[in-house]
Structure 1
Amino acid sequence: MILDAIDAGIYGPGDRLVESELAERFGVSRTPIREALQRLETQSLLERDGRSMIVASLDHNQMAELYVVRRELEGLAARLAARHATAEEITILREMVNSDDQLVKDPAALSRANRRFHQQIHLASHNRYLVQQLDLVHRTMALMTTTSLAVEGRCEIAQSEHDGIVSAIEARDEKGAEKALRDHISVAFMTRLKQDADARERMS
């Protein structure tokens, strides 16, 4: 529930998390809240500020490191999905791309759909350990306060890239699926770098 609140933007980088307030918000005792906060700290999603916990933030180097890991792991997931995905899983991926085409004018909605799409590829890899690692990567992505899909034209491009990824998986083209997804993550990273550069220019 804390992760969902961070993902939804209720709590953002630098926000202080108070046990008593969280317990009241979620309707639970402080003990599970304390345990959850400790677990999120070990995953580097929270950091300690004196006696308090705050939502972690990612600097430029951390973001770059995260995208390097994400590109490699996502590429592996696509390769394994091309090898192991069932016909039903591939059908779901194709249906997701087709339905998500209707969301290109709504970056926030497409961002949520994008997360579901990538998670479906993770599951189609049929490798539980890879799924676990990618889950942590995507949790950490929630520490970024903006989505690269907010950049004008990126929604349409991302959907075209998704179409290419699924086409390779449908064709059981392992190398093609891996390359398509790795390239997709690289473009998303470059888009985010441009976002950050533009934000710094506006602030200067």
Structure 2
Amino acid sequence: MNSVYEDVRGLIVHGTYPAGQAVTEQELCDRLGVSRTPVREALRRLEGDGLVEPARRGVTVVELDSKALRDDYLVRAALEGLTAELAAARQRSGELAPAELTRLEKLAAEADQATRKGDFAAGVRHNRAFHGYIAALAENPPAVEVLDRIWDRIIVSTRASLTAPVRTGQVGEEHKHLVAAIAGGRAEDAAFLARQHVLSTMYALEGAGK
């Protein structure tokens, strides 16, 4: 059942079923080649994740309104501030390996390159990988779990957060400053930069009118 859950979640997060689209259990059964029981269980879990809502026949992929999207961004900002702070604190304590910091720099560079090229799909993927790795370095499983759900909802509800004109160059610079703060073990700076980075994306998205 977990595999079916991941499969259906992937179809939604990657855009096969975009926000607002209705999806029936039978359609998913046919696409995935499984029975209704695992599909029904997967949809119940996804409803709990806030990705779908019940419809007359099956479910509808959730599309966050402006307030709900802002709420998710605010929670994401707070949690990513926390994970950046914890990652930097671990670096200050000598708990992070040089290879981990090298990987973080590589992920930041990949996100920046994709964003500057205007490759939205790759930009979203690399950007999420970068922030997800910071969360992993923080070693705080509850934060990682909540952030995963929030990232899913944000990605599904808007695919424009990296394409707002004023953010194209800023994203990469903000990532570099954040990496430097973590690498330098500057926990307070890392927390501030991470929060501001997320909030800047939120403001740019709001200004673009989604």
What's the TM-score, normalizing by structure 1? Answer: 0.90
Deviates further, 133-142 or 120-129: 133-142
Deviations 1:26-73 (A, max 9, x none): 222221111000111122211112343111111111011111111100
Distance 2:12 2:64 in 1: 14
How many residues in Structure 1 have an aligned counterpart in Structure 2?
A: 197
What amino acid maps onto 1:92 in structure 2? Answer: R
Alignment of 1:47-62 (within 5 A): 47-62=53-68
Asked whether 1:137 is paired with 2:138, we answer no
Between the aligned partners of 1:172 and 1:77, the Cα distance in structure 2 is 13
CA distance in 1, matches of 2:112, 2:201: 18
2:176 counterpart residue number: 163
Aligned alpha-carbon RMSD (Å): 1.5
**Which has the larger displacement, 128-137 or 174-183?**
128-137
Partners in 1 of 2:109 and 2:73 — Cα distance? Answer: 26
The SS at the match of 2:165 is: coil
**1:38 equivalent in alignment to 2:44:** yes
Alignment-mate amino acid for residue 106 of structure 1: G
Q: Does 1:111 align with 2:117?
A: no
Task: Determine if contact 1:111/1:147 at 8 Å carries over to the other structure.
Answer: no
Matches of 1:73 and 1:154, distance apart in 2: 21
Matches within 5 A, 1:61-80: 61-80=67-86
Secondary structure at the aligned position of 2:68 is classed as helix
**Aligned-partner residue type, residue 96 of structure 1:** L
Partner of 2:108: 97
Kindly tell me: are residues 139 and 99 of structure 1, through their superposed partners in 2, closer, same or farther at Cα, counting changes over 3 Å? Answer: closer
> In structure 2, what is the equivalent of residue 125 of structure 1?
138
Please, which runs of 5 or more residues in structure 2 have no aligned partner? 1-6
Match of 1:194 in 2: 207
SS at match of 1:54: strand
Identity over aligned pairs, percent = 35
Query: Which runs of 5 or more residues in structure 1 are unaligned?
Result: 200-204
TM-score (norm 2): 0.88
Counterparts of 1:142 and 1:148, CA distance in 2: 8
Aligned to 2:3: none
SS state at 2:208 partner: helix
Higher mean displacement: 156-165 or 10-19: 10-19
Shift of 1:185: 0.5
Deviation readout 1:4-46 (Å, 9 max, x if unpaired): 1112211112211111111221222221111000111122211
